[in-house]
A and B are shown apart, each in its own frame.
Chain A
Amino acid sequence: GAVVSQHPSWVICKSGTSVKIECRSLDFQATTMFWYRQFPKQSLMLMATSNEGSKATYEQGVEKDKFLINHASLTLSTLTVTSAHPEDSSFYICSASDRGEGTDTQYFGPGTRLTVL
């Protein structure tokens, strides 16, 4: 149980284009979903927190107009990187909290590696 999927697992795009990453909780309803960014050999940095049906809460320093988050249902959240640039290249990981367990435990997706040329 508590499986989170991400799609795509990797993507390469040209500078200036937009990329959408999907995060799904497969066998549970997610109260909250989180989006993280991880640079090589570094820890995870929380980008934003999203609750179903409401606007995402962004961490300080994260551009909300560049990283658009939509949490359309209890099992799906999307992150769109708009007008991507090479500095946006990174490993993006989502996580979801199981509604039945409350918000104490986050289950993580496998990550999406974005490379912007």
Chain B
Amino acid sequence: AQSVTQLGSHVSVSEGALVLLRCNYSSSVPPYLFWYVQYPNQGLQLLLKYTTGATLVKGINGFEAEFKKSETSFHLTKPSAHMSDAAEYFCAVSDRGGGKLIFGQGTELSVKP
């Protein structure tokens, strides 16, 4: 069975500071990993995904994540936070080709001016 753990239900950073949202996964097969962002009362927007190949994945809005198999991690980073980054972030894992997503609990990111 697959599972995702996001460390920290709430992260607060200052504008311009580094953003680091942590995600660890468990999977018995090579995983596909995703980060989604959700703004209030909206659906989810795909930030980035890892399937195969390069372990450092770049996404939209300046975010990137690195797949580390040895650490079973897929942490999301952004060098400089912007006020518009304040939202809920979800890490998710899926089985290869299965399509079914297992989501983490979510991390709410706050950005202070």
Q: Give chain A nearest CB distance to B64 CB in angstroms.
A: 17
Are B46 and A105 in contact (CB-based, < 8 A)? yes
Q: Give chain B nearest CB distance to A35 CB in angstroms.
A: 12
Are B90 and A43 in contact (CB-based, < 8 A)? yes
Are A46 and B49 in contact (CB-based, < 8 A)? no
How many residues from B make CB contacts under 8 Å with A? Answer: 22
Are A107 and B32 in contact (CB-based, < 8 A)? no
Are A111 and B42 in contact (CB-based, < 8 A)? yes
Q: Give chain A nearest CB distance to B75 CB in angstroms.
A: 18
Are A43 and B105 in contact (CB-based, < 8 A)? yes
Report the separation of the CA atoms of residues A46 and B99 in the bound assembly, to the nearest whole angstrom. Answer: 12
Contacting residues of chain B (65-113) with chain A, CB-CB under 8 angstroms: 90, 94, 97-101, 103-106
Q: Is A110 an interface residue (CB 8 A)?
A: yes
Are B43 and A108 in contact (CB-based, < 8 A)? yes
Are A111 and B41 in contact (CB-based, < 8 A)? yes
Are B101 and A34 in contact (CB-based, < 8 A)? yes
Report the separation of the CA atoms of residues A105 and B33 in the bound assembly, to the nearest whole angstrom. Answer: 10
Interchain CB contact (< 8 A) of B36 among A49, A103, A108, A109? A108
Residue picked from B51, B90, B99, most chain A C-beta under 10 Å: B99
- Evaluate whether A109 and B32 lie within 8 angstroms (CB atoms) in the complex, with A44-B90, A103-B97 already known: no
- Evaluate whether A108 and B41 lie within 8 angstroms (CB atoms) in the complex, with A34-B101, A46-B101, A49-B99 already known: no
Interchain CB contact (< 8 A) of B42 among A32, A97, A103, A110? A110
Are B103 and A104 in contact (CB-based, < 8 A)? no
Inside 8 A of B94's CB, which chain A residues have their CB? Answer: 104
